[in-house]
Chain A
């Protein structure tokens, strides 16, 4: 089994905050950024996010390694928009055959890329600094989420890494049976579907067994649950949320004051 563990030092001042507080702070901060299409507000937000990273105990190198899919998708967005954007206003920067890059195109693309990164980073920070068990505990104790949902999801989450191994196993087992697709795309699709089906059958069986085992230990039996691990929501946690709201609002205000603000709606 692969262990999904936080990558950050757990002692850092903000990493230690209540998981629900971190989650809400990330949401509040991201919400402010979704409101605008300009590149200034997200650029400021990214600067803020990178500045608070050490407070969460995340090293920049570790983040770069973790966040490469995010950077890759950002690059993809940039290229797609530069090539295919409908709005070709502004000064022409590059004209090569059918490709026409104008300042307007570049500005829109840059805004979207920065927005993607700025909105995703808080989520990355929260999950990199939060133990899944603590998150489930806090959701139950501080956000009044039903234990049936939070603990059930937590237990199911533990089985996710197994799916990858299972897929590999089923694929090899099929090859051993003389089943492969070669270069035929239709056969490839059929093999993919049948492997996925076998994976699904296995996953359902495993999930059922886990549910029975949880049942046997009195899970969701109607008795009021107690909690072995206390999660506390303190003033510091409230301050974290307030801080996130102020900083997110600040980025938005800066964009309005600079006159670059372009509302998402209208």
Chain B
């Protein structure tokens, strides 16, 4: 049970010109553990959706065949369990036990069997709370373990995991991986999509790499695949283990003071914190989920009114306005001085095309149309977005949207750049570009503050770190 066969499989979403995935021939035997890799846009998530029977026939066009134990996945749904990336949109019920029971109810499991199976599934994933606990009171890592329990309670023969740890801090991600390792039966087939390969390798015995243009690029035991294709895969953006990126730390000492925070906080979201940022330095703010890192970024960025303490901008940063706190500045003045990049790029998109999106800031801050065009063209080139100048920002892939959101903040040439989890969910190629870009910006004399729980990013870029605790 749980064997997968794909023959020349392809899928094109309705209304799209390009195939999301195409020409895939693959056979996975029952009980195999497969890590599915591929550059951003290679169709990994579409393939998982097809295996889970979540692509209705009328939602696109199919090529070739996909079968689970010889059945169409849409008719073999009870054999498959899937866990997605975002905890918030896969928990259905308000209480933990009810959420695990939800799938069992849907499958018509007799009422007296439901609760024993719920308890068993919660126990398997090492869930630390009683089943009456509200799902909203869980951390991201706990929510993902609960989602895993919800999938396992249905006793799937094939378990699909679509980047289940991408939204989590390192501690939460480790707990989820341990839960996966401990909860699987020997004969359960596992197909896992995960950007961070090194962390995922202990869970798998086989690696399959999808080719972005179609087909399977490589397939075999992890060591053999990485020995034969490691360089090419790394260049394509796959996180091949053991390949470190040369660090880009500041070569010159930090310059003028830009921003000072004195006991800055917003209880109960963020505890009072002291910090200062200088020109030509990259500061990384670390801490577990819930420590108030994002809130601190918003406070520093002049977007939230401080609950405690003060933010003071230096005259280098704010000129005549240095006497007023940033949250009282008008928006165009703020955008000229402090650029903020949000965790979710889509929050920041305002216009209908990539070009207008980049031009918005310069136009709002009163640049001439010629100067705007020069700035925008340079950024389009620098961030490999030139071909997408006319595209709608909401249609971009994750990596493209991230590059665009960083570029929009840079378009007004602010002296201080504040980014919330800029590398989150990115493939290795975009990740390297971001490191290089931030390093350039810093070396040109700007201050860069990044809120992050990506230890590699900190090692590659940060000149200084600040760790927050949960308040």
Binding site for B on A (CB under 8 A): 1-3, 5, 131-133, 151, 154-155, 158-159, 162, 169-170, 172-180, 182, 194, 198, 201-202, 206, 209-210, 212-221, 223-230
Which of B54, B90, B151, B336 lies at the interface centre, i.e. has the most chain A CB atoms within 10 A of its CB?
A: B90
B9 smallest CB distance to A (angstroms): 19
Q: Is the CB of A223 within 8 A of B94?
A: no
Interface presence of B16 (CB below 8 A): no
Q: List the 6 shortest-distance A-B pairs measured between CB atoms, nearest first.
A: A178-B335, A180-B331, A217-B103, A213-B90, A218-B106, A178-B364
Of all chain B residues, which has the CB nearest A175? Answer: B331
User: When the two chains form their complex, are residues B89 and A209 in contact, meaning their CB atoms are under 8 A apart?
Assistant: yes
Q: How many cross-chain pairs have Cβ atoms below 8 Å apart between A and B?
A: 165
Interfacial chain B residues near A225, Cβ < 8 Å: 105-106, 108
Alpha-carbon distance A79/B84, docked complex (angstroms): 54
Interface flags, B289-314, vs A, CB<8A=1, else 0: 00000000010010110000000000
B92 within 8 A of A: yes
Asked if A178 and B134 make an inter-chain contact with CB atoms under 8 angstroms apart, the answer reads no
Inter-chain contact A176/B150, CB cutoff 8 Å:
no
Q: A217 with B150: in contact, given A133-B98, A176-B342, A224-B108 (CB under 8 Å)?
A: yes
Cα of A177 to Cα of B410 in the assembled complex, Å: 10
Can you report 19 A-B residue pairs in the complex whose CB atoms are below 8 A from each other? A1-B88, A151-B102, A155-B92, A155-B93, A175-B303, A176-B335, A177-B335, A178-B331, A179-B350, A210-B92, A213-B92, A214-B92, A217-B106, A218-B106, A218-B154, A219-B102, A226-B105, A227-B105, A228-B118
Least CB distance from B101 to A in Å reads 4
Residues of A within 8 A of B114 (CB): 226, 228
Q: Known contacts being A3-B134, A132-B94, A209-B86, is A177 close to B360, with CB within 8 Å?
A: yes
Q: How far is the CA of A169 from the CA of B77 in the complex (A)?
A: 37
On whether the beta carbons of A170 and B331 are closer than 8 Å, the reply is no
Q: Which of B107, B334, B344, B408 contacts A175 (CB 8 A)?
A: B334
Since A206-B89, A218-B103 are in contact, a sample of 8 more A-B pairs with Cβ atoms closer than 8 Å, ordered by chain A residue number, is A172-B303, A173-B342, A174-B348, A176-B335, A177-B408, A194-B350, A217-B106, A218-B77
Contact of A176 with B89 at beta-carbon distance under 8 Å, contacts A226-B108, A228-B115 already known: no
In the complex, the answer to whether B108 meets A230 with C-beta atoms within 8 Å is: no
Q: Is B136 an interface residue (CB 8 A)?
A: yes
Residues on the B chain within 8 Å of A224, using CB: 108
CB of B347 within 8 A of CB of A173, answer yes
**B426 on the A face (CB < 8 A):** no
> Is the beta-carbon distance between A223 and B136 smaller than 8 angstroms?
no
The verdict on B137 contacting chain A, using a C-beta distance below 8 Å, is: yes
In contact, A169 and B136 (Cβ under 8 angstroms): no
Q: Is the CB–CB distance between B154 and A210 below 8 Å?
A: no
In the complex, A138 Cα to B331 Cα: how many Å?
Answer: 50
What's the Cα separation between A155 and B94 when bound, in Å?
8
CA–CA, A260 to B394, complex, Å? 62
Q: For residue A136, which residue of chain B has the nearest CB?
A: B93
In the complex, which residues 328-371 of chain B have their Cβ closer than 8 Å to any Cβ of chain A? 330-332, 334-336, 338-340, 342, 344, 346-350, 360-361, 364-365
Contacts of B81 in A (CB 8 A): 216
Q: Given contacts A133-B93, A175-B334, A226-B109, are A221 and B346 in contact (CB under 8 A)?
A: no
- B108 closest partner in A (C-beta): A223
Given A172-B304, A178-B334, A224-B108: A209 in contact with B84 (beta carbons within 8 A): yes
- B 140-153 binary contact with A (CB < 8 Å = 1; else 0): 00000000001100
A219, A223, A226 interface centre (most CB from chain B within 10 Å):
A226
User: How far is it, in angstroms, between the C-alpha of A169 and the C-alpha of B342 when the chains are bound?
Assistant: 9
B contacts, CB < 8 Å to A:
49, 52, 54, 77-78, 80-82, 84, 86, 88-95, 98, 101-111, 114-115, 118, 134, 136-137, 150-151, 154, 298, 301, 303-304, 330-332, 334-336, 338-340, 342, 344, 346-350, 360-361, 364-365, 394, 408-409, 412
Most chain B CB atoms below 10 A, which of A158, A173, A201, A225: A173
**A216–B52 contact, CB under 8 A?**
yes
Query: With A and B bound together, what is the CA distance between A175 and B364 in angstroms?
Result: 11
Expressed in whole angstroms, the Cα–Cα distance for A227 and B114 within the complex equals 9
CB distance from A92 to the nearest CB of B (A): 51
User: Which residue in A170, A182, A194, A228 is a CB contact (below 8 Å) of B105?
Assistant: A228
**Of A154, A155, A176, A217, which contacts B340 at CB under 8 A?**
A176
CA of A209 to CA of B334 in the docked complex: distance in angstroms?
A: 35
**CB-CB < 8 A to B115: which residues of A?**
228
Residues of B within 8 A of A198 (CB): 346-347, 349-350
- Separation of A223 and B77 alpha carbons in the complex (Å): 12
The one of A132, A179, A228 in contact with B111, judged by C-beta atoms closer than 8 angstroms, is A228
Q: A3-B136, A158-B94, A213-B92 are in contact. Are A223 and B348 (CB under 8 A)?
A: no
Q: Which residues of A contact B365 (CB under 8 A)?
A: 178
Q: Within 8 Å CB of B95, what residues of A?
A: 133
**A179 contacts B364, CB within 8 Å?**
yes
Q: A228: shortest Cβ distance to chain B, in Å?
A: 4
In angstroms, Cα B108 to Cα A132, docked, is: 22
Which residue of the partner chain B has the closest CB to A172? B303
Interchain nearest-CB distance for A232 vs B (Å): 13
For B100, give the chain A residue with the smallest CB separation. Answer: A228
Residues of B within 8 A of A229 (CB): 98, 101
Tell me which residues across on chain A come within 8 A of B110, comparing CB atoms: 226
> What is the CA–CA distance of A72 and B348 in the complex, to the nearest angstrom?
37
Which residues from A are CB-within-8-Å of B101?
228-229
Min distance, Cβ A131 to any Cβ of chain B, angstroms: 8
In the bound complex, residues from chain A placing their C-beta under 8 Å from that of B108 are 223-226
Is the Cβ of A176 less than 8 Å from the Cβ of B301?
yes
Contacts of B394 in A (CB 8 A): 201
B125 nearest CB across to chain A (Å): 16
Q: Which residue of B lies closest to A215 (CB)?
A: B54
Residue of B nearest to A219 (CB): B106
- In the assembled complex, the Cα of A210 lies from the Cα of B409 at a distance in Å of 31
- Knowing A179-B364, A225-B106 touch, does A218 contact B78 (C-beta < 8 A)? yes
Q: Which residues of A contact B89 (CB under 8 A)?
A: 159, 206, 209-210, 213
Which of chain B's residues has its CB closest to A168's CB? B304
Contact status B360-A228, CB under 8 Å: no
Given the known inter-chain contacts A1-B136, A175-B334, please indicate yes or no for A221 contacting B360, CB distance below 8 A: no
**Cα distance A202–B150 in the bound complex, in angstroms:** 25
A233 to B54, CA, bound (A): 37
Q: How far is the CB of B258 from chain A (nearest CB, A)?
A: 17
Query: Roughly how many angstroms separate A219 CA and B331 CA in the complex, as a whole number?
Result: 46
In the bound complex, CA of A174 to CA of B340 (Å): 10
What is the distance, in angstroms, from B112's C-beta to the closest C-beta of chain A? 10
> In the assembly, what is the distance between CA of A214 and CA of B118, in Å?
17
Residue on A nearest B147 in the bound complex, by CB: A213
